[in-house]
Amino acid sequence: MNGKVTIVTGAAQGIGRAIAELLAEKGSDIVIFDIIDGSEAVAAIEGKGRRCAFYNVDVSDFQAAAAAIDQVTKDMGKIDNLVNNAGITIDKLLVRMKEEDWDRVIRVNLKSVFNCTKAVIRHMLKTGGSIVNISSVTGVMGNPGQANYAASKAGIIGFTKSVAKEYAERSIRVNAVAPGFIRTKMTDILDEKAKEAMFAAIPLKRLGEPEDVANVVYFLLSKYSSYVTGEVINVNGGLHM
C-alpha cells in the first residue's frame, strides 16, 4: 500500500475506521468521507505516520460526492482505492416501514456506492485501481425487519459484479465483502435476545470484530488479490456458507 491514496467512506468510526487504520499501517494515505466528527480517526491515522484528510460529505448526495472526489484528486494528487463502507439501518417490519425509511436506506447504502464509484472511475480509467464495497450477510440471506437494508446490500452485490465486468480491461478491480454480525455501534443497539439468537447461529461462536473485516478489505485492495474481481467474500464466522 506504500504511497497509495485510499478513500474510505463512513470511516469516522466502526468498521470503516478499522479499515482506514489498517490500510494506514500498511502504508496508504487515507481520505475519510463522513458526516460525523472524524477528528479521532484522523489523529489515529496520522499517528501511524500517514497523511489523512477528512471531508464532511454526505455520500448519498450525488453532487456532493462528485465534488468531494474531484477535490481529493487536487489535494492528494490521485486516487488508487475506494472503500464504499458508509451505511445505516432503519429496521422495521414491512407493514410498519414508511416510504421514507425505504428511500433513506437505499440512498445512503446503495445510491452512495453508485455516486462515489461513478466519480472515482473517471480518475482510475488511466491508472487502474481497486474498489471494495461493503455489503452484508443480510443482503445474501435476507433478515426479517430489514427488507430495506437487505435490498440495499443485495443491490451492492449486483452493482459490484456489473462494474467489475465493465472495467476489468482498464485494470480496475471491484469486489465486495459481506460481513456477518460485527461488534460496532450498529449492532450495539440490538436487544440481548436478538444477540443471543445470533450468537447461537454462528459456528465460530463469537461476534466479528471490525478488524476481521478490515483484514479482508486489505487483501482485496492489495497485490495479493490481483487476479480477483467481481467476488463477494463472506466474513461471518460461518453464519452463511
Positions in the binding site for ligand NAD (CB under 6 A)? 9-10, 12-16, 33-36, 58-60, 85-88, 108, 134, 136, 179, 181-182, 184-187
Catalytic residue among 149, 167, 218, 227: 149
Query: What is the Cα–Cα distance from 70 to 132, expressed in whole angstroms?
Result: 19
Q: Which is nearer to ligand NAD, 13 or 28 (CB)?
A: 13
Identify the helix (H) or strand (E) that includes residue 23: helix 14-25
Cβ-in-10-Å burial (0-12, 13-18, 19+) of 186 comes to middle
Q: Which is nearer to ligand NAD, 87 or 155 (CB)?
A: 87
Q: What sign does the dihedral 26-28-32-38 (CA atoms) show?
A: positive
Q: Which is nearer to ligand NAD, 161 or 171 (CB)?
A: 161
Give residue for cell 486516487: 79
CB of 86 to ligand NAD, least distance (A): 4
Q: Is 227 a catalytic residue?
A: no
Answer for the pair 113, 133: CB distance below 8 angstroms, yes or no.
yes
CB of 169 to ligand NAD, least distance (A): 29
CB of 158 to ligand NAD, least distance (A): 16
Positions marked catalytic: 149
